[in-house]
């Protein structure tokens, strides 16, 4: 494959993952075309709680990727003026035991009840202790996606919104581009980074991708005052304050019963928040919607060349916001250099046979 400025790549999907891949490729001299069926960040990126969470409960096959997330987002803040992270820290308690490796991570500490109240004075029921990740933060995923897109454009990338990929073109027994609603786009490599949307595209190539659509509910409330200083995650609520003052919440999707539709969940969640926090005069639901998270069947990202199909590279994962900056950097370097990124070893498609 050609490298550097001679290489042409089509990135399918303009969510935060696709935007990061496009930015990191373009800054390495690759000629990138970003193809998006809808608008930039119009898919699951727009419904993300967008917590840069570097730990997870249970075994984590991609711990090195999570561990690099904070440094990579700080790098992007220095490179792109539109990347602005709220480095507020995150307080977690009453959910599941923190893995030992996370508890020992830099910037992560067990804090006492007094320390918890110093961090979050509006908590009505502070626990005896909690885990505080001082270096974690959150972002506006739509804004950051646009910043990455503009960064890619600054290095010559082309953005094509409202342009659906209908299939692929082939030459010499390999994929040589994409067929879109506005015509054919040739490329040395096609990177599929369109979340759950890539399942059908892979199916058209005769490849069954081990990817599931996992629904979650994203809620935005209008709040008269700033209720929390950082990210608070416990058994009753998962909330943070946006830069515009909105209170943002994430809730589990239950089913499609009337009582469990997003609006109903948002009202129940508001009641839980009021029982957990002082100073909640009112919480008006501004937005409540379901986002379909692309979750590989074993939980680890799917990143790499597709076995047996030349010219196609897959990049899909959950949590996309947490991992986007790091994975984008690694994918860009891997594609341009031809050297496999060791930190992506657990993400390869070959693990499914």
pLDDT for res 101: 56
pLDDT for res 224: 76
pTM, to two decimals: 0.95
pLDDT for res 55: 82
pLDDT for res 315: 99
Domains of the chain, earliest start first: 8-50+141-210+297-352 (3.50.50.60), 90-134+219-293 (3.30.9)
pLDDT for res 107: 82
pLDDT for res 1: 46
pLDDT for res 3: 47
pLDDT for res 45: 98
Cβ atoms within 10 Å of 244's Cβ, excluding its own = 9
pLDDT for res 6: 80
Residues of the chain with pLDDT under 70: 1-5, 56-58, 97-106
């Amino acid at each position: 494959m050609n490298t550097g400025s001679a290489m042409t790549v089509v990135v399918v999907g303009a969510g935060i993952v696709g935007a990061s891949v496009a930015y990191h490729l373009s800054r390495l001299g690759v000629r990138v075309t970003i193809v998006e069926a809808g608008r930039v960040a119009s898919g699951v990126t727009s419904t993300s709680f967008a917590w840069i969470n570097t730990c997870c409960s249970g075994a984590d096959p991609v711990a090195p990727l999570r561990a690099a997330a904070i440094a990579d987002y700080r790098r992007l803040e220095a490179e792109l003026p539109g990347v602005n992270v709220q480095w507020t820290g995150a307080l977690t308690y009453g959910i599941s035991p923190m893995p030992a490796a996370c508890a020992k991570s830099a910037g992560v500490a067990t804090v006492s009840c007094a320390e918890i109240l110093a961090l979050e004075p509006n908590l009505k029921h502070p626990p005896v202790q909690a885990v505080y990740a001082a270096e974690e933060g959150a972002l506006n995923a739509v804004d950051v996606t646009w910043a990455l897109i503009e960064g890619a454009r600054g290095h010559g990338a082309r953005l094509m919104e409202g342009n659906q990929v209908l299939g692929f073109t082939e030459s010499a027994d390999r994929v040589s581009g994409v067929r879109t609603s506005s015509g054919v786009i040739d490329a040395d490599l096609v990177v599929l980074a369109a979340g759950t949307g890539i399942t059908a595209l892979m199916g058209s190539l005769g490849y069954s991708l081990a990817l599931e659509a996992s629904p979650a509910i994203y809620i935005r409330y209008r709040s008269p005052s700033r209720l929390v200083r950082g990210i608070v995650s416990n058994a009753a609520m998962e909330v943070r304050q946006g830069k515009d003052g909105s209170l943002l919440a994430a809730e589990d999707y239950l089913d499609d019963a009337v009582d469990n539709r997003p609006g109903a969940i948002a009202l129940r969640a508001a009641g839980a928040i009021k029982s957990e926090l002082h100073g909640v005069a009112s919480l008006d639901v501004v937005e409540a919607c379901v986002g379909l998270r692309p979750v590989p069947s074993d939980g680890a990202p799917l990143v790499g060349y597709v076995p047996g199909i030349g010219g196609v590279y897959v990049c899909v994962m959950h949590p996309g916001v947490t991992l986007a900056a790091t994975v984008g950097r690694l994918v860009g370097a891997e594609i341009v250099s031809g050297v496999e990124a060791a930190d992506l070893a657990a993400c390869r498609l070959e693990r499914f046979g």
